[in-house]
Structure 1
Amino acid sequence: MTQADPQAIPSSAAPRDKQRHARRAAVNEAKRTHILAAARAVFQERGLEGANLREIARRAGYVAGSIYSYFDSKEAIYGALLAESLERLNAAVAAGAPESRSARERARGAARAFYDFYATNPRDLDLGFYLFGGMKPQGLTPDLNAALNARLRDALARFGGALRELGMPEPAARSEEAAFFAHCVGLLLLENTRRIRMFQEDPGKLCDAYIERAVERAEAGAA
């Protein structure tokens, strides 16, 4: 009787291994997402200094030691939350300024999408400005802080890029990005603290007026 060549026999082991790996990855991602959701609630209530891994694990329904498989510190969790927030911000800004639109429309759309993201997600504003941790990037490594800042600049760059297309010189466009950011944050803080009521103004309309003036400055520079 001739012995069969093992290499000639088809095997289903590889597909099964891939399926197992895919299921394991999906489970790990679900657990990670669950931990981040629990951590967000703890940070909101206690701040970064008052939060601890034990409480985050309890909220997530895990023992404290199991979290270390996903995050080695509460600061790492905080960084992951902020990174996820900035990715959603960039997606919102991209959706508000599709490439098919004119530069004027993209400038308006990108800037307003930036404002709307934080206006409708005030906890992301707290997270983005480290308000859970005392107005400073506490516990974040310089490399991580630089990477997160770069993603924030990416969101603002769509506005600045459209202004450049309209004719605004490079230095002026960079300054305009910074000025819009400062204006936007000021309006958001006034809105979230309800201080805007003392002026009897609509913060969204004030934002639109500022954006329109920026577009006009860009077009005037081109002329």
Structure 2
Amino acid sequence: MAEASDPKIEQRKAAVSAFKRELIREAAKRVFVEVGLHKTSVREIAKAAGYTTGAIYAQYASKEEVYADILRESLTSMAEAVEQAAAAARVGRKCDAALRAWFEYFRERPAEYDLGFYLYGGAKPAGVGKDLNRELNVRLKRVYAAVADALEADGLVDASKKNEVAVAGASWMFGLLLMYRTGRLKILAVDVDVLIDDCLATLYRGTARSRSGRSRG
């Protein structure tokens, strides 16, 4: 009969494993941003983390699993930031707060922007396998849903249109992030925060016109 494991020992093991995984993720972020997922090897991740390849494989089955874990953590944190911003804002400005939180999350974490949207190797997505892709897509949809729900709470759109408008608003934020991250706005002497204000004002005006047209119809 096997002896019951000591809870304290198991807790210590779990803490050590979590610590190692965090170090591996941080090292992998640097490597992925520099060379991209396809050109990265587990050996390179191990070198950057100061571990052996065996130590990496003890925590992750593949480089794709490391990559997915980074995105999993990022998308969860981002969803929480967007949801909290919307919840804290007054009705009528919830979508504004949600999309600003979306932008600020990535402005403060440029490496996560690069990793999450595959910009290091061009615009072509790099998959991590069917099951991991499915899980990450669910987490990404949670972020969009937070914006969509904020739009509906503000009374800007009805339920049938909220997802479409949320995607449009997020696309503006991504475009501004790209221009900001690549230095294009600095070259053009344009303040990104002014553009954010303009985009959100346009979004609110556009939805107001749409509501007005429906009410007249």
Question: Aligned equivalents of 1:201 and 1:160: distance in 2?
Answer: 29
More deviation, 89-98/121-130: 89-98
Q: How does the TM-score come out when normalised to structure 2?
A: 0.86
SS at match of 1:40: helix
Over residues 94-140 of structure 1, what are the superposed CA-to-partner deviations in whole Å (9 max), with x where a residue is unaligned?
23122x54332221111100011112211111011122454344241
Contact 1:163 1:218 in 2 (8 A): no
Over residues 37-92 of structure 1, what are the superposed CA-to-partner deviations in whole Å (9 max), with x where a residue is unaligned?
11111112222122111121122121111211111111111111111111121122
**Are residues 36 and 67 of structure 1, via their aligned partners in 2, closer, same or farther at CA, if it must alter by over 3 Å?**
same
Question: Aligned equivalents of 2:142 and 2:200: distance in 1?
Answer: 18
Residue of 129, 148, 152 corresponding to 2:136: 148
Q: How does the TM-score come out when normalised to structure 1?
A: 0.84
Residue of 177, 185, 202 corresponding to 1:213: 202
Provide the aligned C-alpha RMSD in A. 2.2
Partner of residue 158, structure 1:
146
Over residues 126-182 of structure 1, what are the superposed CA-to-partner deviations in whole Å (9 max), with x where a residue is unaligned?
011122454344241123223212222211222221221214123432221111122
Question: Aligned equivalents of 2:208 and 2:149: distance in 1?
Answer: 13
Contact 1:112 1:208 in 2 (8 A): no
More deviation, 87-96/100-109: 100-109
Contact 2:98 2:146 in 1 (8 A): yes
Partner of residue 8, structure 1:
none
Percent of aligned positions that are identical: 34
Partner of residue 185, structure 2:
196
Residue of 6, 12, 22 corresponding to 1:33: 22
SS at match of 2:61: coil
* Aligned amino acid, residue 38 of structure 1: A
Q: Which runs of 5+ in 1 are unaligned?
A: 1-12
Q: Work out whether 1:52 is the aligned partner of 2:33.
A: no
**Are residues 157 and 205 of structure 1, via their aligned partners in 2, closer, same or farther at CA, if it must alter by over 3 Å?**
farther
Larger radius of gyration: 1
Contact 1:163 1:215 in 2 (8 A): no
SS at match of 1:104: coil
Partner of residue 164, structure 2:
175
Contact 2:21 2:59 in 1 (8 A): yes
Question: Aligned equivalents of 2:51 and 2:188: distance in 1?
Answer: 48
**Are residues 44 and 106 of structure 1, via their aligned partners in 2, closer, same or farther at CA, if it must alter by over 3 Å?**
same
Structure 1 runs, 4 residues or longer, greater than 6 Å off:
none
Contact 2:144 2:163 in 1 (8 A): no
SS at match of 1:82: helix
Question: Aligned equivalents of 1:42 and 1:64: distance in 2?
Answer: 15
